[in-house]
Structure 1
Amino acid sequence: MAQVAAIIGGGVIGGGWAARFLLNGWDVRVFDPDPEAQRKIGEVLDNARASLPGLYDMPMPAEGELSFCDTLEQAVSGASWVQESVPERLELKHKVFAEVQAHLDPEAVIGSSTSGFKPSELQQGAKDPTQIMVTHPFNPVYLLPLIELVPGDNNDPRAVDWAKTVLEQIGMFPLVVKKEIDAHIADRFLEAVWREALWLIKDGVATTSEIDEAIRMGFGLRWAQMGLFETYRIAGGEAGMRHFIEQFGPCLSWPWTKLMDVPELTDELIDQIADQSDAQSGMYSIRELERHRDANLVGMMRTLKARDWGAGAVLNGHDKVMNAQNVIPNSLADVADITRPVKTVDRAVPLDWTDYNGHMNEARYLQAFGDATDRLMLIVGCTPDYIASGGSYFTAETHIRHLDEVHAGARIRVETQVLLGEGKKMQLFHTMYEGDRALATGEHMLIHVDLKTRAASNPAPQVAAALSELATAHAKLPRPIGAGAAVGKR
């Protein structure tokens, strides 16, 4: 089947789904009778284009084609995935499913973004109940990886496996919930915290701002990278979880919480909460808050990525998937034409690479050129195994020329020309582009080093031969503008 996703309902969640599929190369058709749907999804897409690609160190697929449909039939005909994100009214969902299934390929999946309904409830009266399953995301869908995948008892395991594969291919983490339950797993935790927060406000204990500070300055940071039980395992010290439960378990019977009671949402309480929220965040528009949220999430998730931990491990896995589809060479044999500069970097500019001027920080140019050098080293055989055996290249001198600015979300590539590759020396000239526009150049002189003695040494014969072959081929290229230049010299 073609990679076509139909998005039914273009609100916050539906728009996030559209962005996630679209930026991962799927064609997306949207059906939403709201006359503002196209504008709203366009704004969500702007945020997604600036943030999602920057999570990865590989280029994302070419963006799919986005279209807005006048009817459900137009949206779902020929689609292999339908994502329903209409309001949480069961009768409305049943009506949508009936119309969708009248025009949908029987092999396609219908995923519901429902926060609370069980799959057995969604499937009631359906033409083919096995097609429908819960695929509950978290906002922003285009950044957060978790999907609660809840199949019904009668769902074909093969369809569930296929749905899991699709979600993984678009960079998500499908958590298969084996037993259906109201509100699935994650929302049950959120509901508990939400109930307690409402009581704290009603009883005059804390404001919306104070509650948010308690979360984001404390346990929220721990939960983001270790969850609940792993956090408490550490709290138990060397004795671990058993000691933690023995020490703090008795607290569960103390009257600390009003978890099972819900304060009546009177007009007075609603006004109190709304007024406090306005005082806390009313100086920002929703779009400004979204951009702050996205930038913070990207920064935290990239830190987790560097540690290969939590959501970061999911990103690393998706990088590997995209790397397999990429055209950046891993060896000299992968280089299609050694007489041309070699593409050594192809990626997006992350949000956390930008500075107070709104463009890429100068230190990140060096990072991108450093990544290009690492790739060229890999191409000539200076692999992790080679480095582990005791040989590597150290950078001795670098000169960067900043030619033009570039912003978050932009796709950049680096092409590398070998100026010298003989003896202990490797001299590289990198040029960074966005499309055909040159952004910067970086000239780097590297010296081969024996890692045991930390002294300069000749590379192994196979590395020397590969580097010499590339240098000889590149010697026929024009000498790049800026090569050998000093600061201020033109």
Structure 2
Amino acid sequence: MKIAAIGGGVIGGGWIARFILAGHDVAVFDPHPEARRIVSEVMANAGDAWQRLYQAPLPSPGTISWAASIAEAVSGADYIQESVPERLDLKHRIIVEIEAAASPQAILASSTSGFKPSELREGATHPERILVAHPFNPVYLLPVVEVVGGGDAAQRASALLESVGMKPVQIAREIDAHIGDRLLEAVWREALWLIKDGIATTQEIDDIIRYGFGLRWAQMGLFETYRIAGGEAGMRHFLSQFGPALKWPWTKLMDVPDLDDELVDRIAAQSDLQSGAHSVRELERIRDTNLIGIFHALKANDWGVGKTVSTMENRFYAREGKKVTGYPLRLHEAHVTGGWLDYNGHMTEFRYLQVLGDATDAFLIHMGLDAEYRAGGHSAYTVETHIRHLAEVRGGTRLIVETRLLGYDEKRLRLHHAILDDRGETVATGEHMLLHVDTGANRTVAMPAALMRALEAIIAQDRAPHPDHAGIGIRAVRLKEASA
């Protein structure tokens, strides 16, 4: 699928990065003299973030091509993402140019945070294919995107966006500023008054959000958070208890202070004091690292945004497994980050098991035991593991795992993994016994014929003898009796 991006600023650059990292080619038009530098810097941050976010092998990135005109960029494109400044007259001129050169079937999605599809469609030749696809920054990490416009185009756009790791939310009725920005606007209005009235500083307001309800919102949203606040009686109790407060004069949401020079100067000065020690790029990297930590925590609980990470990893594992040639199978790679090190500066013990476990997951997906298969109520559980630690692994090392199938029967399979460092030296091995189970009944069951055939094809490639250490446990150590 060919993708075109019109505009490569903060939002446009994020879109370009997400599409390219997911394996799509992107043709870009942006007349800004610094566009190539800006996009390349966003791409660098995005590439680093994806390497740290996903444990699965990433797909080969797509290519970026810079077009000399809008017509050149959109020619032959299936999906066009417009991310130009928020001026309706400018967007109308851009849409006219796009429609003059693009295929009538191409989807034209605008990143606009405020305009409605009906406004964008005024005077369009093919208005039904013009949508709003409003993301949130950073686009290459935050998955939610508001899709407004309906119809077949919205369905097709949502399918594409989901395939690159986004969480499309189709909004049934168009409304100014959609949903997300209307909610943010309410908080923003109140925050301006708190500063105007001298009640709080930018630092204090941000601390209350990021150390308090912001963390709750990040993984549970607004209504589910309040449902829990209602205790065992749930949302009804919460509404009866706190609903009357809506009539109290707590906020000034219907009244906004003038953003005069004095208020602008006060906010800017406080923000400089709060964050001025870091460049914008440093703040972006700090933000990305924090988001990845939250994502990984939520992934461990199979909750919220963590599910989108798991879904993308399953796609990456499945895609990589189809390309694998040779034996032993090389299905998994890992990068040893600073958070993986112990007090000696070496990879800590439990990370070896994580690498081996991820390699086992990659093998299971490779043989056909993927997310779709697991959704049918069957999986494979590891029941025995033996790890040998053979060499030190330092931070920054790129690891690759070589996997062999040592044996199997209708209910069991036995794997051997060798973890190699970037010099090709074996730093650890792992041997694992797995059982095929019915997850609903929680008991072992025979594998279907398709999985058995896949295992037969894999083991047929193994012509080397088994490693000498395979099947051998920890040797007994005899302690010398203390001399009398």
TM-score, normalised relative to structure 2:
0.82
1:132 equivalent in alignment to 2:130: yes
Which residue matches 1:87?
Answer: 85
Give 1:367's match in structure 2, choosing from 346, 351, 354.
354
Provide the identity percentage. 49
| 1:101 alignment counterpart | 99
Report the equivalent of 2:440: none
- Name 2:247's counterpart in structure 1: 253
Question: Kindly tell me: are residues 99 and 467 of structure 1, through their superposed partners in 2, closer, same or farther at Cα, counting changes over 3 Å?
Answer: closer
Structure 1 position 475, deviation (Å): 6.0
For residues 285-327 of structure 1, give each alpha carbon's deviation from its aligned partner in whole angstroms, at most 9, with x where no partner exists. 1111101111111111122122222112223333344444331
Root-mean-square deviation (CA), in Å? Answer: 4.0
Residue 230 of structure 1 is matched in structure 2 by 224
* 2:203 equivalent among 190, 205, 209: 209
1:341 pairs, out of 328, 333, 342, with 328
Distance 2:351 2:274 in 1: 34
Task: Look up the equivalent residue of 1:299 and give its one-letter code.
Answer: G
Which SS does the other structure have where 1:325 is aligned? helix
**Contact 2:5–2:29 at 8 Å: present in 1 too?**
yes
Alpha-carbon distance change, 391 to 252 in structure 1, aligned in 2, over 3 angstroms: closer
Please tell me whether residue 416 in structure 1 is matched to residue 403 in structure 2.
yes
- The answer to whether residue 321 in structure 2 is matched with residue 327 in structure 1 is yes
For residue 444 of structure 1, give the secondary structure of its aligned residue in structure 2.
strand
Taking the aligned partners of 2:165 and 2:367, their CA distance within structure 1 comes to: 31
Structure 1 268/360 Cα, relative in aligned 2: closer, same or farther at 3 Å? Answer: farther
Give the counterpart of 2:109 among 98, 108, 111.
Answer: 111
Look up the equivalent residue of 1:23 and give its one-letter code: L
Distance change >3 Å, CA 429–CA 111, structure 1 → 2 = closer
**Displacement, 1:473?**
6.3
Partner in structure 2 of residue 5 of structure 1: 3
Provide the secondary structure at the position in 2 that maps to 1:120: helix
CA deviations 1:114-163 (Å, max 9, x no partner) are 01011111111122212211000000000001100000xxx6x2222111
Work out whether residues 421 and 427 of structure 2, in 8 Å CA contact, stay in contact via their aligned partners in 1. Answer: no
Q: State the partner residue of 1:144.
A: 142
Contact 2:318–2:365, Cα closer than 8 Å, also in 1: no
Q: Distance in 1 between matches of 2:303 and 2:285?
A: 24
Compared with structure 1, are the counterparts of its residues 176 and 69 closer, same or farther at alpha carbon in structure 2 (3 Å cutoff)?
same
| Aligned AA (1:262) | V
Q: Structure 2 CA distance, aligned partners of 1:81 and 1:465? A: 40
Does 2:428 match 1:438? no
Return the letter of the residue paired with 1:162.
R
SS of the aligned residue for 1:29 comes to strand
Aligned residue number for residue 385 of structure 2: 395
Alpha-carbon spacing, 1:130–1:264, altered in 2? closer, same or farther (3 Å): same
Change over 3 Å in CA distance of 1:380–1:280 after alignment to 2: closer
Q: Structure 1 residue 399: deviation in Å?
A: 1.4
Aligned-partner Cα distance in 1 for 2:166–2:457: 42
Show CA shifts across 1:319-340 (max 9, x none): 34444433169xxxxx976xx2
Larger RCO (CA within 8 A; separation ≥ 6): 1
How many positions carry a matched residue from both structures?
Answer: 455
SS at match of 2:255: coil
**2:321·2:331 contact (CA, 8 Å) conserved in 1?**
no
Secondary structure at 1:102's aligned position in 2? helix
Distance 1:187 1:160 in 2: 20
Give the Cα–Cα distance (whole angstroms) in 1 for the partners of residues 260 and 232 of structure 2. 48
Query: Cα 1:79–1:355, aligned 2, differ >3 Å: closer, same or farther?
Result: farther
Once the two structures are superposed, residues 203-255 of structure 1 have per-residue CA deviations (whole angstroms, 9 ceiling, x without a partner) of 00000000000001110000011100000000011111111011001111111
Of 60-69 and 316-325, the range deviating more from structure 2: 316-325
Aligned residue runs from structure 1 range 51-62, under 5 A: 51-62=49-60
Q: CA deviation at 1:25?
A: 1.0
Whether the 8 Å CA contact 1:135–1:150 is kept in 2: the answer is yes
Q: Which residue of 2 aligns with 1:276?
A: 270
Q: Tell me the CA shift for residue 464 of structure 1.
A: 12
Is there any run of 5+ residues in structure 2 with no aligned partner, and where? 438-444, 475-484
Question: In the aligned structure 1, how far is the partner of 2:200 from the partner of 2:342?
Answer: 34
1:384-416: CA deviations, max 9, x gaps? 89x999985322442142467536xx7x64212
The Cα of 1:421 is off from its aligned counterpart by: 9.1
Match of 1:307 in 2: 301
Superposed, 1:16-55 pairs within 5 Å as: 16-55=14-53
Instruction: Report 1:173-212 matches (<5 A).
Output: 173-212=167-206
Q: One-letter code of the match for 2:186? A: A
- Cα pair 1:421 1:471 within 8 Å, conserved: no
**Equivalent in the alignment of 1:264:** 258
